[in-house]
Amino acid sequence: MSSIRLLVSLAAIHDMKIEQLDVANAYLNGTLEEKVFMRPPTNLANILESIIQKRGLSNVVGEKATRMLEDFRDGKQICHLQKSLYDLRQSGRSWHMMLDKVLRKLGAIPTNADPCVYCVGRGEDATMVVIYVDDILIMPRDSNRIKQFREKLCKEFEVKKLGNVGYCLGVEFEVEKSKITMHQRRYILDLLKRFGMENCNPISTPMDPQTKLVKPTTAEEVKNFPYRELIGGLTYLAITTRPDISHAVSSLGQFNNCHGKVHWTAANRVLRYLRCTLNYGLVYTNCPDPVRGYADADWANCAIDRRSYTG
């Protein structure tokens, strides 16, 4: 996500278009290096018979289906996989290796900082490509490069052309001239609905400074709340487009294995804050000012172990 945010900021500065592509059935394109065997799928005989009827015996596919059906009826109950399938342990790696091979063939070179960010060309001819499993974002300095790169990629895979980026990885993009906004209004609404907080009373701060989060002292304090599920959803939001809840989520995340009602109430307060700030997000513009960073240490403010947290 940090790579995507960085490239979006560059796109805003240089007035670059961002186009989104999606590879259909991506994992099925992977090539297996190991020998992998599997039991025949349910209703394999019926499926093969249907293929034979549609393709006929003179067709190559029909001939293969006929041989498979004969083997299956002769008692051969094991299949040797030729291609990667979903749910294999190595399917993600196989797909990435295949995509990386194709991108390199097209002249794309992965960056040293992030192997999922590629660069094609240099200077005014540079095109940035960022991949997230099967989602691909293309950002060219010259808009004519998008069509060329897209056509080459379509020759290798079945690619869905989604046009200018609008919604990707739970993030909504709004692109104007020299201004790009990233927000997660839809994601927040889904999160509020999942935890029954869509009609909650909004509040203007994510944490109550008077609340001190400590480990529960008795077994009665520990309740069966879906606490970790909520913290996981909030964490993705914090690291993507909502750094304003980062401190609250970091503090709450320390109690994933030892939470009680106080922690659950504090986590729900973050949801109430999000209800109040649905339209908040990151806005990137062509700003000449340099980037400034700020850091702060709280000097052993943690009441549990007296450690200092920077932020």
> And the tokens for 132?
């997230």
Considering the domain boundaries, does residue 296 fall inside one?
no
Considering the domain boundaries, does residue 262 fall inside one?
yes
Considering the domain boundaries, does residue 22 fall inside one?
yes
Q: Is the dihedral of CA 95, 100, 103, 104 positive or negative?
A: negative
On whether both 234 and 117 belong to a single domain, the answer is no
> And the tokens for 83?
């291609």
Considering the domain boundaries, does residue 58 fall inside one?
yes
What percentage of the chain's residues is helix, strand, coil (to nearest 5)?
Answer: 40, 20, 40
Considering the domain boundaries, does residue 291 fall inside one?
no
Radius of gyration of the chain (CA): 26
Q: Report residue 309's pLDDT band, with 50, 70 and 90 as the boundaries.
A: low
For the beta carbon of residue 88, count every other beta carbon within 10 angstroms.
17
pLDDT of residue 302: 67
On whether both 139 and 207 belong to a single domain, the answer is no
Give the DSSP per-residue string, 195-260: TT-TTPPP-S-SS-TT------SSGGG-----HHHHHHHHHHHHHHT-GGGHHHHHHHHTTTTS--
pTM of this structure:
0.79
CATH number of the domain encompassing residue 114: 3.30.70.270
Q: What CA–CA distance (Å, rounded) separates 296 from 304?
A: 20
On whether both 265 and 226 belong to a single domain, the answer is yes
Give me the domain span that covers residue 68.
37-80
Residue-averaged pLDDT of the chain: 87
On whether both 136 and 17 belong to a single domain, the answer is yes
Residues contacting residue 36 through CB under 8 Å, at least 6 positions apart: 80, 81, 88
Whether the CB-CB separation of 179 and 283 falls below 8 Å is answered with yes
Tell me the mean pLDDT in the region 216-237. 83
Give the Å distances, CA to CA, from 119 to 129, 150, 152: 6, 14, 16
On whether both 265 and 147 belong to a single domain, the answer is no
Considering the domain boundaries, does residue 119 fall inside one?
yes
Tell me the HSE value of 38 on the side-chain side, using a 13 A CA sphere.
14
| Domain count within the chain | 3
Percentage of the chain surpassing pLDDT 90? 39
On whether both 116 and 60 belong to a single domain, the answer is no
pLDDT of residue 49: 87
Q: Give tens-digit pLDDT for 272-299.
A: 999 999 999 999 998 878 778 887 777 7
On whether both 25 and 41 belong to a single domain, the answer is no
On whether both 15 and 73 belong to a single domain, the answer is no
pLDDT of residue 209: 86
Considering the domain boundaries, does residue 292 fall inside one?
no
Q: What CA–CA distance (Å, rounded) separates 309 from 297?
A: 6
Percentage of the chain surpassing pLDDT 70? 94
On whether both 8 and 110 belong to a single domain, the answer is yes
Whether the CB-CB separation of 35 and 90 falls below 8 Å is answered with no
On whether both 200 and 235 belong to a single domain, the answer is yes
pLDDT of residue 232: 95
Considering the domain boundaries, does residue 310 fall inside one?
no
SS3 274: helix
Q: Give tens-digit pLDDT for 5-28.
A: 999 998 898 888 899 999 999 999
pLDDT of residue 215: 82
On whether both 214 and 263 belong to a single domain, the answer is yes
Residue 32 main-chain phi, psi, to 5 deg: -80, 135
On whether both 7 and 50 belong to a single domain, the answer is no
Q: Of 157, 110, 105, 148, nearest to 131 (Cα)?
A: 110
Q: Give tens-digit pLDDT for 132-178.
A: 998 999 988 877 777 888 888 888 999 888 888 999 999 999 988 77
Q: Give tens-digit pLDDT for 168-216.
A: 999 999 988 779 999 999 999 999 999 999 999 999 999 998 888 888 7
Q: What CA–CA distance (Å, rounded) separates 260 from 120?
A: 51
